[in-house]
Amino acid sequence: MCPTERQVFIEHLEHYAKESDYPGLDVFICTADPYKEPPIDVVNTALSVMAYDYPTEKLSVYVSDDGGSQLTLFAFMEAARFASHWLPYCKKNKIVERCPKAYFASNPSWFPETDQIKSMYERMRDGVENVVKRGSSSHDYIPDQREIEALSRWTDEFTPQNHPPVIQVLLERGKDKDITGHDMPNLVYISREKRMDSAHHFKAGALNVLLRVSATMTKAPVILTLDSDMYSNDPQTPLRVLCYLLDPSMDPKLGYVQFPQIFHGINKSDIYGGELRHVFQVQMSGMDGLAGPQHVGSGGFFRRKIFFGGPSETPEMNQDQLTSKSIRSREVLAMAHHVAGCNFENQTKWGTKMGFRYGSLVEDLYTSHQLQCEGWKSINCKPKRPAFLGNSPLNLHVLLNQTTRWSVGLLEIAFCKYSPIIYGVRSINLLSGLGFAYYAFWPVWSIPLTIYAFLSQLALLNSASIFPKVCISSMVL
């Protein structure tokens, strides 16, 4: 039991891995509602990771749109065009802040092309915001026939809860080039199939579709999960992760590297405690001193294989590599649509032994507990410059909604057969298990807290004493 803080030296990475040996990286970004999570913010998150200091031929970004919204797809079509200017701009000028919204808001140093890039960004932003305000994209503004066809899949029968899968490759590396002629990373939009009569399992279901679709296209050994509002704040983050994953002396059971969620825009007094400092700054370092921190939904770099069995098992994955084929080829797209179907998981181990686990709204804690019970370890990575920055609830209504969702999800974990107090007590060390149990039973705190909030006032009104008198003998204890 020893709270752990770690440090890596990225400049030493080159001593034990050449750039050509870096593993592929698939980034998963989830969004679920174009009105609650504005598409321009999701686009900013995607652009910030597309501009990572990582070999472009190894980088792919997959966006899951559970809102099944034409508006989000339209925003990404615009983003793909803007990316061809933004990525070379960042790399040429060694920009650190690669989320365009944050960059232009930060009063950046001015380069000769900054004015032009800024006005391009503003044009894209205004275009996307106007389309969201109007509620639909007008085909007159779209120059590309392929894009018009993609957007015309939104027919009258198409609703967010009932629609076929939509998968659109917006950028393909090796084919699409930026304005300087360099490759751009893959960018793929996915809206999985939804039917009223089949369970979609919320975010866990979306992530499992991303796991499968990416396996038909790129199958990178390393995966990063991000919420739509968590943009990258440091382009060197994947290299930092490689310092752990490629370290020859590292425990081979290391399954994932977790970054804390850090929020921006919280007011100084943080009246709702939205910073969650006890979780992200204190408890995760403590868990790191045991078997490792839990996954916190966003900012987790996973080895793909951990979703297919324990460290000693041979992963039950289809080994046929499709990576040599174009991701726009008919075969690859047919397979991708097939695995994004809502009946694909029937009678399979998805959600029980494979992928993100179903059964709790807090799928991150639930899945990472089970992964640790299977023997996987994790690491908490907390660099000085936050790797990601996200939004936290800024009003009481959103906060109460989030707390209710978390409480329901945590109690689902506390009282199921995978409850940390009964499941894995032998395979995971006792203190780690207690750590997970502490989270799972966290909503129970509401009972003593509510009593404490009312009892003293009621006692005062009724002139009753609730505390022992100083003179009684038990007070000595």
Ligand X SMILES: O=c1ccn([C@@H]2O[C@H](COP(=O)(O)OP(=O)(O)O[C@H]3O[C@H](CO)[C@@H](O)[C@H](O)[C@H]3O)[C@@H](O)[C@H]2O)c(=O)[nH]1
Structure-token pair, residue 113: 């092309």
Q: In b/e form, how buried is each residue of 229-244, taking b as 16+ CB within 10 angstroms?
A: bbbbbbbbbbbbbbbb
Report whether 412 belongs to an annotated binding site. Answer: no
3-state secondary structure at position 154: coil
- Smallest gap from Cβ 230 to ligand X, in A, equals 7
Query: What is the rounded distance in angstroms from the CA atom of residue 327 to the CA atom of residue 151?
Result: 19
DSSP per residue over 25-46, as a string? EEEEEEE--TTTS-HHHHHHHH
Q: From the CB of residue 451, how many other CB atoms can be counted at a distance below 10 Å?
A: 11
Residues in CB range of 18: below 8 A, 6 or more apart: none
Of 48, 70, 214, 228, the one binding ligand X by CB under 6 A: 228
- Smallest gap from Cβ 64 to ligand X, in A, equals 6
Could you say whether residue 66 binds ligand X (CB under 6 A)? yes
Helices (DSSP H) in 135-186: which residue ranges?
Answer: 145-151
Length of the chain: 477
Q: Contact, 6 vs 39, CB < 8 A?
A: no
Report whether 5 belongs to an annotated binding site. Answer: no
String of contacts with ligand X for each residue 404-433, x by CB under 6 A:
-x----------------------------
Q: Contact, 431 vs 290, CB < 8 A?
A: yes
The 8-class DSSP code of residue 348 comes to S
In terms of CB distance, is 255 or 299 closer to ligand X? 299
| Residue 194: strand pairing partners | 163
Could you say whether residue 41 binds ligand X (CB under 6 A)? no
Could you say whether residue 402 binds ligand X (CB under 6 A)? yes
Query: What is the rounded distance in angstroms from the CA atom of residue 141 to the CA atom of residue 147?
Result: 11
Of 27, 28, 34, 37, the one binding ligand X by CB under 6 A: 37
Could you say whether residue 191 binds ligand X (CB under 6 A)? no
Q: Give the count of residues interacting with ligand X (CB under 6 A).
A: 17
Residues in CB range of 245: below 8 A, 6 or more apart: 23, 222, 254, 257, 301, 303
String of contacts with ligand X for each residue 358-397, x by CB under 6 A:
----x-x---------------------------------
String of contacts with ligand X for each residue 285-324, x by CB under 6 A:
------------xx--------------------------
3-state secondary structure at position 73: helix
Report whether 36 belongs to an annotated binding site. Answer: yes
Nearest to 295 by CA among 354, 353, 225, 242: 225
Q: Contact, 475 vs 469, CB < 8 A?
A: yes
Q: Which of 66, 178, 234, 288 is catalytic?
A: 66
Position with the least CB separation from ligand X: 297
Stretch that binds ligand X, among 116-124, 150-158, 199-207, 320-328 (CB under 6 A): 199-207
Q: Which of 26, 183, 288, 364 is catalytic?
A: 364
Query: What is the rounded distance in angstroms from the CA atom of residue 415 to the CA atom of residue 303?
Result: 29
Q: Tokens 């790191």 map to which residue?
A: 288
Report whether 363 belongs to an annotated binding site. Answer: no
In terms of CB distance, is 164 or 297 closer to ligand X? 297
Nearest to 301 by CA among 313, 309, 289, 293: 293
| Residue 234: active-site member | no
Stretch that binds ligand X, among 26-34, 212-220, 280-288, 463-471 (CB under 6 A): 26-34
Of 25, 27, 32, 124, the one binding ligand X by CB under 6 A: 32
Q: From the CB of residue 452, how many other CB atoms can be counted at a distance below 10 Å?
A: 9
Of 202, 263, 301, 302, the one binding ligand X by CB under 6 A: 202
Of 78, 183, 227, 374, the one binding ligand X by CB under 6 A: 227
| Residue 66: active-site member | yes
Report whether 172 belongs to an annotated binding site. Answer: no
Could you say whether residue 44 binds ligand X (CB under 6 A)? no
Residues assigned a catalytic role: 66, 364
Return binding residues for Mn(2+).
Answer: 203, 227
Interface residues toward ligand X, by CB under 6 A: 30-32, 37, 64, 66, 202-203, 206, 227-228, 297-298, 362, 364, 402, 405
Return binding residues.
Answer: 36-37, 66, 203, 227
